[in-house]
Structure 1
Amino acid sequence: MEGLVMKKYLSFLVFVLSINLLFISSTFAVMNGLVGAWTFDKDEGGKVKDNSGNGFNGELVGNAKIDKNGKYGSAVSTDGTEAYVMIPDDPAFEFDGDFSIACWVWNENPASDHSSFVTKGYHRTAGNGGDAKPWYLIYYLKTGTIDFFLRDTNAVNSRAVGKTVINDGQWHHVVCMKAGKEVKVYIDGKEDGSAPAVDAKYGENTQPLVFMVHYDRWFAGKIDDVAIFNKALNDNEIKVVMGGINKGVLEVSPIERLTSTWGNIKK
């Protein structure tokens, strides 16, 4: 009888450790490509902290404010007037290969054509420092769907347009990526659009990284858990990121999680 109990205990132990090792593998893989992450969970007096630890801190500009009703904790809220988040220019935001941008967004208003979630190189009008090629841009179309838009130095465009309408008063997870010879849009963990991509060093300009505005078109809504990666995320990594930057990626290290689980099993 004792042998049977021990056998079941060991089987359960192997199962639990296997699940944790899978989590560790996924989390390490995600963190390995993390460039910057902004959760907006603490009001820093107009400042925005990079929670990745890489130091890419920024600021709230205009009427942008921290809203306690985010997807996970707090979010940044804007009302369609001059308001955005600005992160100073850095070479880490330039990509000559694969890269991914992830965020949670909320909006319940008719989409303002070309209002943006994330851009580097095109937050202002062309005559006011905008259209700084090669740039990247995630923005709404009038249809309420997502457009991931890249433009190289020769003004050649790569655009992946999504199909899912997301200005419905619900939180939606958006991932846009350049993956090899394609640009892709994922909505709530599922591929929603793709198109051929032209190679360039996207983001190689002197403009800041900006959330919530494109071409002086101001976004009205909320954005939470913005993260940028220097690789194309796979399906499992997207699921980890969807679980929350703090919860799924940064809050507890994989080793701490495994140690904690082992300690609980031994009790």
Structure 2
Amino acid sequence: MGATLTGVLDSYSVSSNSLLTGLLGVWELNETSGLAQDELETYDAVSTDVTYDASGKIGRCFTYDGSDSVSCGSVLHLTSYLTVSCWMKTTNTGADWYALVGNYGSVNGFGYDITYYAASTRIEWGVRSTGHTTVYTAVDADLSNGNWHHIVCKWDGIARKIYIDGVDAGSADSWTYAPESSGDNLYIGDRGTCNAWIGSIDAVRIWERALTEDEIEELYAKENAGTGYPW
């Protein structure tokens, strides 16, 4: 009887993986044409001029040339704890901010987003609201070496933090201001009309909670080994 019960249980794919908790959007960017599909089947994104089907960190990825766009529409205007992760690769050293993921408000400055200032080699993480629209937390990180790098940014109600390749990059700042809705679209690789990415982006995820450091280390280890969602 025990063997039979074990066999029944083994036939189900039941995950206790905490990385699935609070997960809102998953874009593997494995498509060869058309929409960038959300694996959770909620927030598919419209892709404009990206190069599909390039070799990615996990399967395939999207490649951008500085004029491309991937828009998920006016969604995920989070106003509480959050985590955003992605893989990036670039050799760009241009003197500008280059957008990875976010819904920065071009009019009101609200929202959240991750950018890379290539010339000054730093990752910046913005969580902005009324009266607090221009301040980022930033870490120096020369990532323009043509290698894949894992970026995780989170806000836990106390501080904004940046993790690079599974390691706390030392960015924690005191920041108790929750993000406000930008009203703008969620973009992957640009801000709609500016700051378009030059390079490749893969495996984008957004959570409505702040991942723990152990979870971030686990996420990096699994994805660095080539294991994508659902891990």
SS of aligned partner of 2:84: strand
Given the alignment, which residue of 131, 134, 138 partners 2:107? 131
- Cα distance in 1 between the residues matched to 2:91 and 2:159: 30
Distance in 2 separating the partners of 1:104 and 1:234: 19
Q: CA RMSD in A?
A: 2.1
**Residue 134 (structure 1) shift:** 2.0
Q: Does 1:213 align with 2:190?
A: yes
Higher helix fraction (1 or 2): 1
3-state secondary structure, aligned to 1:244: helix
Q: Deviations over 1:26-79 (max 9, x none)?
A: x2x110110101001122x3211001x241101112x21213311111111011
Deviation for aligned residue 1:158? 4.3
Q: Deviations over 1:180-217 (max 9, x none)?
A: 21001110011112222142343x13211001124612
**2:224 is aligned with 1:239:** no
Counterpart residue identity of residue 87, structure 1: C
Match for residue 88 of structure 1? 73
Cα contact 2:109–2:129 (8 A) shared by 1: yes
Q: What's the counterpart of residue 222 of structure 1?
A: 200
1:119 is matched with which residue?
A: 102
What is the letter of the counterpart of residue 184 of structure 1? K
2:127 corresponding residue in structure 1: 150
- Residue 104 of structure 1: aligned partner: 87
User: Matched residues, percent identical?
Assistant: 23
TM-score (norm 1): 0.73
Indicate the SS of the match to 1:115. strand
User: One-letter code of the match for 1:104?
Assistant: W
Equivalence for 2:116: 140
- Which runs of 5 or more residues in structure 2 are unaligned? 1-14
- State the SS of the aligned residue for 1:170: coil
Structure 1 portions without partners, runs of 5+? 1-23, 123-129, 252-267
The runs of at least 4 aligned residues of structure 1 exceeding 4 Å deviation read: none
Please tell me whether residue 64 in structure 1 is matched to residue 50 in structure 2: yes
> Which residue pairs with 1:78 in the alignment?
64
1:37 matched to 2:17? The reply is no
**Secondary structure of the structure 2 residue equivalent to 1:109:** coil
- Indicate the structure (1 or 2) with the bigger Cα radius of gyration: 1
Q: How many residues align?
A: 212
For residues 174 and 136 of structure 2, what CA distance do their matches in structure 1 show?
8
In the aligned structure 2, how far is the partner of 1:42 from the partner of 1:194?
35
Aligned counterparts of 2:112 and 2:25: Cα–Cα separation in 1: 16
Alignment partner of 2:71: what SS?
Answer: strand
Is 1:178 matched with 2:163? no
SS at match of 1:60: strand
**Using the alignment, how far apart are the partners of 1:37 and 1:155 within structure 2?**
29
Letter of the 2:177 partner, please give it. Answer: D
Structure 1 position 112, deviation (Å): 4.1
Following superposition of structure 1 onto structure 2, how do residues 9-20 of structure 1 map, counting pairs within 5 Å?
none
| TM-score normalised by length of structure 2 | 0.84
